[in-house]
Amino acid sequence: MKFRYRLPAALLSAAAGVLALQSAGPWAQEPVYPNRPLRYVVPMPPGGPNDFLGRVVAERLSKSLGQPVVVENRPGADSLVGTEYVVRQAADGHYLIHVAASHVTNASFKAKLPYDPIRDFEPVTQLAGMKFILAATPALGVTSVKEFVERARAHPGKITYATLGVGSSHFLAGELLRLTADINIVHVPYKGGAQITQALLAQEVDATFISVFPVRPHIRSGKLRGLGVTTATRSAALPEVPTIAEAGPYPGYEMDVWQGVLVRTGTPRPVIARLNRELVTLLKTAENAAKISAAGLDPVGSTPEQFMELMKKDLAKWARVAKEAGIKPE
C-alpha cells in the first residue's frame, strides 16, 4: 500500500503566494500610476494660448490615464508663482506644470529665481510651437523687413514696438532684431496680447512681434502689415510672409515660442515615459492636432531628451542676448 502525504491547504496557499511574488520580480514593488487625480498647473492666467493648450491636454490626458486631470491656474510674477508651487510638491508624477519659453528665459531677466529651471525639473515633452510675426501699421510706411530696418536706422529711437514687458517673447523678438540688424527701436510694455493688438490698430505704437493668429485677419484686411515671421519656417496661416531670416536677410535670426510639460526632478523614469507616450499620442491624433492648429499653434510632441536640449539651447541663447543688450536682471 502506498501512502500519500498531503500538504495542508494553508501551506499550499502560502507557497503559491511566494511563487507569484518571485515571478512578478521587481514590478511587484512598483506603485500603480496614477493612483489619484493629477494636478496640471498652468502658471499663467485663464485665457490665452497657454491656458487653451493646457486645458486641451488635461482633458484628453484624463481619459487616457483613467484619472481626473485638474487644471490649476496659478499666475503671478511671470509664471514664477506657479512654478515654485510645483517644485515644492512630491516628485511622483501627480503634479505636472505647463511651461512656456519664459521658463528658461526668466533666468536671464530675473535677479533671483526660487528654483533652477533645468536642475529642478524633468522634461516630459514639447507640446507645441507658436510662430510670431513682425507686424506694423500701414502708417509706418514700410512693407518689408528691409524697409523696417532702413526706417529704424534713419530715425534711431523713434520706432516703437509693443511688448508684454522685459523678458516676454514680444520683447525678446524685438531685442534679437535690434542686435542682429544693429538698430535702435523702443519697446512699449502692455498688460496683455489683446491690448497690444488694439494699440497697434489704434496706431499708439508702430509695430509689434506677436503671434500670427490674432493679427492674421487684420493683415488680410490691410489694417496691418505682416513683415516677417520670427521662426525658421514660414507660417501656414500666412505663407506669403517670409521669415525674418530670409527677408533681412538675417540667417542668424530665429525665435521659437514653445510650450511644454515638465515634472519634478526625481520623478520615476517609467512615469515620465508613460506621460510622454500618452501626450505624444494625443498630439498626433488628427482631431486634437486640428483643434490645436486652429488656435494658431503647431503641435510637436518630442522626446524628453529633445525637449531638454531645446531648453538648454534657449537658456544659453537668451542669456547671451541679454548680456549683449546690456539688460540687467531685476
Task: Give the E-state strand segments of the chain in sequence order.
Answer: 38-42, 69-73, 95-100, 121-130, 132-136, 160-163, 186-189, 207-211, 225-229, 257-264, 298-299
pLDDT at 29: 52
**What b/e string do you get for 130-139 counting C-beta neighbours within 10 Å, with b at 16 or more?**
bbbbbbbbee
- Mean pLDDT rounded to a whole number for the chain: 90
| β-bridge partners, 215 | none
d(CA 159, CA 153): 10
Each residue of 114-136: pLDDT tens digit?
999 999 999 999 999 999 999 99
Of 3.40.190.150, 3.40.190.10, 3.20.19.10, 3.40.50.300, which CATH number belongs to 38-129+256-324?
Answer: 3.40.190.150
Q: What are phi and psi of 111, to 5 degrees?
A: -65, -35
pTM here?
0.84
The answer to whether 38-129+256-324 and 132-230 have equal CATH topology is yes
| pLDDT band at 14; cut points 50, 70, 90 | very low
pLDDT at 30: 56
Where do the structural domains in the chain lie, given as residue ranges? Answer: 38-129+256-324, 132-230
Each residue of 275-309: pLDDT tens digit?
999 999 999 999 999 999 888 899 999 999 999 99
Residue whose entry in the numeric block shows the C-alpha cell 486641451: 56
Each residue of 250-265: pLDDT tens digit?
998 999 899 999 999 9
**Cell for 267?**
520623478
Residue 211 pLDDT greater than 70, yes or no: yes
**Cell for 15?**
507557497
Each residue of 139-175: pLDDT tens digit?
999 999 999 999 999 999 999 999 988 888 999 999 9
| β-bridge partners, 125 | 261
CATH superfamily placement of domain 132-230? Periplasmic binding protein-like II (3.40.190.10)
**Average pLDDT score over residue span 221-237:** 94
| pLDDT band at 196; cut points 50, 70, 90 | very high
Residue 251 CB coordination number (10 Å): 11
